[in-house]
Amino acid sequence: MKGAKRKLQDEARRVKNDLYRQHILEAAEQVFAERGFESAKLSEISATADLSMGTIYAIFPGKEDLFRAILDERGQELLQIARGVAAPELTPRQALEALIEAYIDYFVAHPGFLRMYLRLGTSWVLGPSLGTESQVRLWSEIHALQADVFRRGVEQGVFADEDPAFLAKIFSAIDQVLLAEWAAGGMKTDRAALADRFRRIIERAVLA
């Protein structure tokens, strides 16, 4: 009886901590997007989340841990997107179209993360060379999935006869420049127009 009660209490505590964790991450993403990592303070994140500093410290030891947790969580989400749309049953053109739509949808839905990520000033082409091991691994996996789409397209004569890894980097570079310009302009362009512009530019760059 006591064991069952303790199990229920532990589960309730876990659920509560998970909710707190997600709420803190969302507040931190907002603050990092507005202030940048260096200028952001845990006290600002605490105020935005409307939680005590003690609650935040109980889940995240410090600001850097919070920042890395956001990058890891969002990176995992982007990896799942890449895995889903790079499926071999899609033709290379279909997979490219799906990548464009999926990435635009994701960043339009997560504008705070986009602004936070752009503030890092790192190249999406070269990857997080100074990032953690998990961040470097996530970037490598996503890049490999994109390169595989281009590899299939090159083999079928659909895409330009270039190194698939290079074409994948062109894709990432265009993605970053397009979204950075969108963010700098106040994110006023609607999702459909943004995706259409991305599609037109990437097709001119990579189609055979």
Q: Which domains does the chain have, with CATH numbers?
A: 1-60 (1.10.10.60), 68-206 (1.10.357.10)
d(CA 169, CA 63): 31
Query: What pLDDT, on a 0 to 100 scale, did the predictor assign at position 66?
Result: 94
Query: What pLDDT, on a 0 to 100 scale, did the predictor assign at position 126?
Result: 83
pLDDT digits (tens, 9 = 90+) for 187-200: 999 999 999 999 99
Give burial (CB, 10 Å; 0-12/13-18/19+) of 199: middle
∠ CA(35), CA(115), CA(174), 5° rounding?
145
Query: What pLDDT, on a 0 to 100 scale, did the predictor assign at position 91?
Result: 94
Instruction: Read off the pTM.
Output: 0.88
Query: What pLDDT, on a 0 to 100 scale, did the predictor assign at position 88?
Result: 80
Place of tokens 């049953």: 89
d(CA 78, CA 75): 5
Query: What pLDDT, on a 0 to 100 scale, did the predictor assign at position 198?
Result: 97
Residue-level length of the chain: 208
Contacting residues for 68 by C-beta, under 8 A, at least 6 apart: 132, 135
Segments in the chain below pLDDT 50: none
Provide the mean pLDDT of the chain.
Answer: 91
Measuring CA to CA, which residue among 111, 83, 78, 79 is closest to residue 95?
83
Query: What pLDDT, on a 0 to 100 scale, did the predictor assign at position 10?
Result: 55
Query: What pLDDT, on a 0 to 100 scale, did the predictor assign at position 122?
Result: 85
